[in-house]
Chains A and B, each alone.
Chain A
Amino acid sequence: MVVQYLLVALVAFIASMDEQLFGITMLGRPLFTSLFVGLILGDVQQGVIVGAALESMFMGAIMVGAAVPPEVYASGVLGCAFAVITGTGTATAVALALPVSVFLQVWRNFCYAVPGAFACKKIETALANRDLAKANLYHLTIVPLSIGIPSALLVFCSLFFGADLINNALNAIPQFVMDGLNVASGVMVCIGFALLIRTMGDNKLLPWLFLGFIMVIYLKMDVIGVAAAAICVALLLAFREGSSGPQTVAADEEEDF
């Protein structure tokens, strides 16, 4: 049994790094991983049925923009494995996958915040030292492993010690901490934008930022709509006849935000 658990954990390990190492192939999602979980546990049919149910449940869980979606990879593997082992079907799988999914989502946010920032620092230092091999090694390991290893461990421990134990442990985390971490992941996105505003470094462009903001807030446009409108404005600016564009731009760039 332990060998099977290890193999299931290995599936979770690879699946949980789909976004990082494989550029979102969508093959880490429950519908596909259930095939392997079923094979490992010796009941492909049941595995695939549970996988289909989990996939439907997670259908809405998508990654749009910078928001982090609920974790579907390791939690999908765990839910599926547990349902096949106990023979209790999809309801158990869903009930088990949800708390693990919420926890692993918070963990992912943490990985982007701390190991992610750490990885970027290390890469920049390596680049400054002109050590490209080291920079690339940091790039390919730090964040993927800090996501993959805990995900796989959680799956293995849940199977080995029983899911109740793990869920009780997860439930012991105070609700306000989990809520707070979720609130933080909503705010955290602004860091990237703040850096962008700082890098673009031109106060005279700020009205455009507010214009885009207002179009979404008051006119209820979505980002694609605003982008399309902004492309038109940008083209008008770029191709207007007889403008002294280059000079004004040169003057603009002197300003530091």
Chain B
Amino acid sequence: MATQNTDLKEAKKDAIMSPDMYRSMFLRQFTSQCSQSYDKMMAMGFMYTIQKPLRKIYPNDDDYYAALDRHTEFFNITPHVLPFVAGLTVSMEEQAAADKNFDTSSINAMKVGLMGPLSGIGDSFYWGTFRVVAAGIGIGIASTGNPLGPIVYALIYSVINFATRIVAAHLGYDLGTKFLQQSEENNLMSRMTHAAGVLGMTVIGAMIAAQVSLSTALTFDVGGSEIVLQDLFDSIFPGLLPLLATFACVALYKKGVKTIWIIIGIFAICIIGTGLGVFAAA
């Protein structure tokens, strides 16, 4: 049974991720941030990236559009490592098409779980290391007015940039295919889904703390001594305001408020609040 499965998958693998599929994904992943927005981030770009392989997996229009719809959920990652997740996703979609019992929500759970860790790695490598090294060398040559500086900078960064994106897509797809085979045998999939949820939630909590910023500038006069409210927060519960802001948004979404109104509300509250001195300027 197991060998039969393997043969089946080998045949499938050749059929789905052919070189032209990789080429299509490679060209399209560059536009991952085209429809960047605060509520979806690069979801639309991700959906655009994997369209060709998805079409091949789902020849039927109904299934195809259902799959596209799945990938319009919030997604955000360092764009340079997106091909890895794209490859992995295609392998999972392939599995979902072959196995009717496959829980498609696990695909998004996997994407959410990988966002944080991969972005952490991606940001520090591409922005923090490769770019800084390339720019450092380029600036050194360019500061005397030598036009080779910009060219060397572009070459160093681009070689790394393009090569890793090509490799990442293959890596993601191969890893996904291999892993799914194993997990199918041990009936691991549903436990993996739960574990992915745990991973995703923990990382979201960490990202709220690290990325959402809001602090108050309010001060109170108590018995002649001035109390800075933010200092009070900082000593008891430092991230209170960002956490409150996030759950206020969750509550609004639960009430069915549209994203655009939440965005307008945040703009209005922040501008007025900063004008009145309630919020501290960033």
Chain A positions near chain B (C-beta within 8 angstroms) = 19-27, 29, 31-32, 34-35, 38, 44-46, 48-49, 51-53, 55-56, 59, 62-67, 111-114, 116-117, 119-120, 123-124, 127, 130, 132, 136, 138-140, 142-144, 176-177, 179-200, 202, 205-206, 208-218, 221-224, 226-231, 233-235, 237-239, 243, 245-246, 248-250, 252-253, 257
Contact = CB atoms under 8 A, between A and B. Distances in A.
Given A23-B30, A123-B44, A143-B36, A180 B243 contact: no
A174 to B, nearest CB: 8
B24 interface: no
Nearest to A38: B147
A55 B38 CA distance: 28
B141 to A, nearest CB: 8
Contact of A116 (B37, B192, B249, B266): B37
Contacts of A233: 198-199, 202
Interface stretch (B4-12, B86-94, B148-156): B148-156
B147 A48 contact: yes
B259 A196 contact: no
A35 B134 CA distance: 16
Nearest to A21: B31
A52 to B, nearest CB: 4
Given A190-B242, A234-B198, A132 B51 contact: yes
Given A65-B123, A190-B242, A221-B206, A32 B153 contact: yes
A206 B242 CA distance: 16
B279 A212 contact: no
B38 A113 contact: yes
Contacts of A23: 29-33, 79-80
Contacts of A48: 142, 145-147, 149-150
A200 B112 contact: yes
5 contacts: A62-B127, A62-B131, A179-B282, A191-B38, A243-B191
Given A49-B143, A213-B239, A213-B243, A117 B138 contact: no
A139 B48 contact: yes
B147 A35 contact: yes
B226 interface: no
Contact of B34 (A144, A186, A190, A211): A144
A44 B117 contact: no
Contacts of A245: 190-191, 194
Given A191-B249, A197-B204, 4 more contacts: A187-B266, A202-B197, A233-B198, A237-B198
A208 B274 contact: no
Contacts of B119: 65, 223
A126 to B, nearest CB: 10
B191 to A, nearest CB: 4
A243 B32 CA distance: 39
Interface of B: 29-41, 43-45, 48, 51, 61, 65, 68-69, 72-74, 76, 79-80, 105, 108-109, 112-113, 116-117, 119-121, 123-124, 126-128, 131-132, 134-135, 138-139, 142-147, 149-151, 153-154, 157-158, 161, 187-188, 190-214, 237-239, 242-243, 245-247, 249-250, 252-254, 259-260, 262-263, 266-267, 270-275, 279-282
B211 A237 contact: no
A184 B267 contact: yes
A35 B150 contact: yes
A230 B203 contact: yes
A176 B158 contact: no
Nearest to A182: B282
A193 B191 contact: no
Contacts of B120: 222-224, 227
Contacts of B145: 44-46, 48-49
B37 A31 contact: no
A140 B205 contact: no
A55 B135 contact: yes
A117 B38 contact: yes
B35 A119 contact: yes
B246 A226 contact: no
Q: Enumerate the 6 nearest inter-chain pairs by beta-carbon distance, A residue then B residue, closest first.
A: A116-B37, A212-B205, A180-B271, A194-B249, A45-B145, A216-B209
B127 A228 contact: no
A213 B206 contact: yes
Contacts of A140: 31, 34
A84 B35 CA distance: 35
Given A52-B139, A64-B123, A190-B246, A223 B35 contact: no
Given A49-B145, A114-B263, A250 B38 contact: no
A193 B212 contact: yes
A190 B212 contact: yes
Nearest to B212: A190
A65 B74 contact: no
Given A55-B139, A194-B249, A26 B161 contact: yes
